[in-house]
Structure 1
Amino acid sequence: MATVAVIAHDAGGAEILSSWARRSGNACLLVAEGPAVAIFKRKCPELTPMALLEAVASSDWLLCGSGWQSALEREAIRVGRAAGKKTVTFLDHWVNYRERFKDGPRLLLPDEIRVGDVDALRIAQAAFPMHPIVLEENPYVLDLLDQIDAIPQRTNKVGNVLYVCEPVAEHAKLAYGDARHFGYTEHDALQFFLDKIHLLNDAVRPIVIRPHPSETAEKYAWALNATEQEISFGGQNTLLQETLAADIVVGCESMAMIVGLLARKRVISSIPPGGRRCRLPHAEIEHLATMGGGRDG
């Protein structure tokens, strides 16, 4: 049994790595910052966060997330390499693969990249054609499927909506120096959804707005006065709990939308016309910008 340093900051990577830690049978040392701290505390309470240098020195190899909100994972790759330890990154999404490894003008790649499905494998092989890429079942998805199968599905569809947010403008500003680089912001997308909610052809009832783990509900308080629909804010329960309580999951291109697909919910992208098209490769996702005869940007 190996000793593995698991290192994460962003929520997406933390969900995968915490599920991996629970399933792997390896001894794990945790380095967590930002949203990852709460995720590991909920899923792996026996792991106590420690300093990066200490974890690297005491481990056999490193398993990292891949975030854009922090340089922690890239620093882990750098430190691991300097210590002669194998470094592995498990990609948690389907977009911005090269940007996740940018270290100034160059790429700082781990020894191995892991992906959790064939779509991610195809995208990663195109982004890193000469790099070792391994397909491994996504442990977070396996956990979700186990939990979904254990919970009876509701049969009374009443049109409840879970709107999942992501800090689009912050990401664009950090990566490209322009908050509107993608042609829209998270506020544009939410406003577009509220304006076009009638296109869903459902008797839409309450809307729960779930901020991204790095955001607060106050950021979206303006939405309370932007529609006649009943709005409340989520985030107090787990993503899966709030997904299962909804009939429709709406967002831009968040991993939370894939959780909606796994839970067999109707899933819709709210990226407005003029914005970059949703890059999630899942054909089941509907696009609000093309409903009612509209055209996607």
Structure 2
Amino acid sequence: MAKKWSLACRTISITLRISSMNKLPMMALVAHDAGAANHIIYWLLAGDIDLTYVRISFHGPALIAATNAGLEFDNLALDQVLVGADFLVAGTGWATDIEKKAMRTAIFASIPVAAVFDHWTNYDKRLYLDDEVIAVDEIWVTDTYAIELARSFYPNADVCLKNNRYLDYQVRNISSQICDPHKVLFLMEPIRALWAGEKDAGEFVAFHYFLENLSVLGISGRIDIRIRPHPSDPIGKYARLERSDDVINVTVNNDLPLHQDIAAAAWVVGLQSYAMVVALEAGKKVISAMPNHAPSCVLPHKGIIHIKEITG
């Protein structure tokens, strides 16, 4: 029992008492945004969660990520996934209220809820719906940085540290490949507010800021920059950044798995995305291109090179 449900912890474990009736509890999984979904997907692939005893409702980027990872499952509609479920594990994202509505519905039905936090940003908004806090039983995180953050914002929820199977998988695959010293991977992510004095979106400003500081970073010679769009970016968003001359070649593509893109590059540049943490764990040179007038990079990990700290 404990082996199959090693992810369960203090509050959610109450539901495991159903095992006295020789029946494993049924877990409902709901996700939309790719971040938390990746953790859930790789818990499933690693066997931490037994697919036999789950009901899944994946949407948007989460469904794409699950398909790309080779996960096979029956995908249910949101209004079906909680039928017969003993507890719910849901992602937490910004793009839709799908996950939040599932959590609220489960709580109304007296079904315990665990919310998966995949990053270190916007904790104050992750469990807010219609100006109310969703009173989840547990918050699941995958590193010690996130534990204190989650506890400070949601003191009434149990915060549980889980295995980061997604990170383990990515790093394991990256470490086995040889990189090209002339290749740079730029990890895009949408900045949903204009920075002071800017007319262009922050992700474009950050990219140009990186190009302006190549010499400061010690990147010289002809370089090949591959822009990897964020899963939520529309197709063609970064087409205007493509170029090729005697110094720089810039292409836009995300047709490869993340670990292959990171493995091929000597430098991995971004703003404050989770993929930068993956690259850092894999031993890559990781750069944050948040410019001087932008908010500070939220990633708390040591080893990230911050351009604005070098330029002053």
**TM-score in same-fold range (> 0.5):** yes
- One of 96, 111, 117 as aligned partner of 1:85: 111
Structure 2 CA distance, aligned partners of 1:10 and 1:182?
Answer: 30
Give the stretch that moved more between structures: 69-78 or 137-146: 137-146
DSSP-derived class of the 1:17 partner: helix
Q: Which residue of 2 aligns with 1:219?
A: 237
Distance 1:287 1:217, change over 3 A: farther
Native 8 Å contact 2:36 2:118 kept in 1: yes
- Aligned AA (2:41): S
1:207 aligns with 2:231: no
Structure 2 CA distance, aligned partners of 1:181 and 1:88?
Answer: 37
1:24 aligns with 2:41: no
Q: Which residue of 2 aligns with 1:13?
A: 36
Q: Which residue of 2 aligns with 1:67?
A: 93
Native 8 Å contact 2:116 2:140 kept in 1: yes
1:229-284 CA-to-partner distances (Å, cap 9, x unmatched) read 10111210111110001111101100010111122100000001111000101011
After TM superposition, give the deviation of residue 93 of structure 1 in Å.
0.6
1:161-216 CA-to-partner distances (Å, cap 9, x unmatched) read 100011112xx4xxxxxx44898711211121122222220336200000001113
Within a 5 Å distance, the mapping from 1:222-241 to structure 2 comes to 222-225=240-243, 228-241=247-260
Structure 2 CA distance, aligned partners of 1:225 and 1:44?
Answer: 34
Larger relative helix fraction = 1
After TM superposition, give the deviation of residue 226 of structure 1 in Å.
9.6
Identity %: 30
Normalised to the residue count of structure 2, the TM-score between the two structures is 0.84
Structure 2 CA distance, aligned partners of 1:109 and 1:186?
Answer: 34
Gaps of 5+ in 2: 1-23
Native 8 Å contact 1:53 1:79 kept in 2: no
DSSP-derived class of the 1:141 partner: helix
Normalised to the residue count of structure 1, the TM-score between the two structures is 0.88
DSSP-derived class of the 1:93 partner: coil
DSSP-derived class of the 2:236 partner: helix
Task: Return the index of the structure with the highest Cα Rg.
Answer: 2
Structure 2 CA distance, aligned partners of 1:146 and 1:182?
Answer: 42
Name the count of aligned residue pairs.
282
After TM superposition, give the deviation of residue 217 of structure 1 in Å.
4.8
1:56 aligns with 2:86: no
Within a 5 Å distance, the mapping from 1:103-122 to structure 2 comes to 103-122=129-148
- One of 186, 209, 215 as aligned partner of 1:198: 215
Q: Which residue of 1 aligns with 2:264?
A: 245
Q: Which residue of 2 aligns with 1:175?
A: none
Native 8 Å contact 2:195 2:294 kept in 1: no
- One of 243, 255, 267 as aligned partner of 2:274: 255
Q: Which residue of 2 aligns with 1:278?
A: 297
Structure 1 CA distance, aligned partners of 2:121 and 2:203?
Answer: 17
1:267 aligns with 2:286: yes
Within a 5 Å distance, the mapping from 1:148-167 to structure 2 comes to 148=174, 151=176, 153-154=177-178, 158-167=181-190
